[in-house]
Amino acid sequence: MPPKILVFAGSIRTGSFNARLAALAAKELMRAEADVSLISLSDYPLPLYDGDLEGRSGPPEFALKLKRAFCAHHGIFITSPEYNASLTPLLKNAIDWISRVREAKEPPLAAFKDRVFALGAASNGTYGGMRSLMALRHVLELGCGALVLPEQIAVRGASQAFDDMDELKDEAIAALLKRVVGRLVEMAGRFA
């Protein structure tokens, strides 16, 4: 059975470079014969995490849906924009809400266990969003107990990095994406 891989970006901006990278990662994952679901966080609108809101009515419906989407996949590829050397509030808020969903008899943080995560970033900045990946890795590994691949991709000069076919122009960066994708498929296959 091919591993099921969920792909999404930590940006819902029109023309987002990270959404573009997520779409390309999804394409590469399909080429690697994974069973791929590409989603947008815009389809999972969530209020800013608020303990009082949670206390009153529990996690919102879309937190539950997103958590179930995580649980339905063996691997998750997240592309993460860099905001002030960290991940976006959109992405952190989604992770925070998911971390609060606990369905019957599940251990805590079930959405982050028994699957593998891969990370990518795209930015016009010098670091290509690398610092957001460090922050996201910290949140996923230390905060949520997730297994995160050491291989990752950061795309510099993002506004010029893609060609008309939405492929990466730089051969070395394109090869890196293929390597990350290959490793994700291999590792996710162990959970399939």
Ligand X SMILES: Cc1cc2nc3c(=O)[nH]c(=O)nc-3n(C[C@H](O)[C@H](O)[C@H](O)COP(=O)(O)O)c2cc1C
User: By CB under 6 A, how many residues form the interface with ligand X?
Assistant: 13
List b or e across 62-85, with b for residues whose CB sees 16 or more CB atoms inside 10 angstroms. Answer: bbbebbebbbebbbbbbbbbbbee
Nearer to ligand X (CB atom), residue 28 or residue 82: 82
Question: Is the sign of the CA dihedral 12, 14, 16, 20 positive or negative?
Answer: positive
Using alpha carbons, select from 116, 140, 155 the residue that is nearest to residue 29: 116
Question: Is 81 one of the binding residues for ligand X (CB under 6 A)?
Answer: yes
Question: Is 17 one of the binding residues for ligand X (CB under 6 A)?
Answer: yes
Among 57, 84, 107, 164, indicate the residue that binds ligand X (CB under 6 A): 84
Among 49, 77, 83, 112, indicate the residue that binds ligand X (CB under 6 A): 83
Question: Is 70 one of the binding residues for ligand X (CB under 6 A)?
Answer: no
Of 118-147, binders to ligand X (CB under 6 A) are 123, 125, 129
Give 142's DSSP letter.
I
Give 41's DSSP letter.
G
Q: Which residues bind ligand X (CB under 6 A)?
A: 11, 13, 16-18, 81-85, 123, 125, 129
